[in-house]
């Protein structure tokens, strides 16, 4: 009757669902901005991503709010992971910029 393994699996499932949702959003933005019909890309992607995530939450929870909460925690964690992984590289802030010269 130990719930810990079930909750860990629910959290892992949430991370996977979040990766699908936010990774799909990132992919949609990259494809949609260069498309002839971006509204169609965004609308279909939204419907598909939300449908997958809602069905996943429903299946993972199995009627238990604890599993749903663990899945949601994993989903939010995936948001931070995908945001960090898809971030453009930062410029080096140690070297002074050519445009930022101060009068001496």
What residue ranges do the domains of the chain occupy? 22-84
Burial class (CB in 10 A: 0-12, 13-18, 19+), 22: buried
> What is the pLDDT at residue 99?
57
> What is the pLDDT at residue 89?
77
Model pTM greater than 0.85?
no
Which two structure tokens, joined as six digits, stand for 52?
């997958």
Query: Mean pLDDT for each consecutive 10-residue tract of the chain (104 residues)?
Result: 87 96 93 91 96 96 94 96 84 58 58
**Positive or negative torsion for Cα 79, 85, 86, 88:** positive
């Amino acid at each position: 009757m130990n719930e810990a393994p079930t909750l860990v699996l629910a959290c892992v499932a949430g991370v996977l669902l979040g990766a699908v949702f936010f990774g799909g959003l990132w992919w949609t933005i990259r494809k949609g901005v260069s498309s002839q019909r971006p509204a169609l890309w965004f609308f279909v992607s939204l419907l598909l991503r939300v449908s997958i995530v809602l069905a996943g939450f429903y299946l993972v929870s199995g009627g238990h709010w604890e599993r749903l909460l663990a899945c949601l925690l994993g989903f939010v964690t995936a948001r931070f992971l995908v945001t960090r992984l898809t971030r453009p590289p930062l410029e080096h802030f140690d070297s002074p910029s050519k445009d930022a010269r101060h009068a001496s």
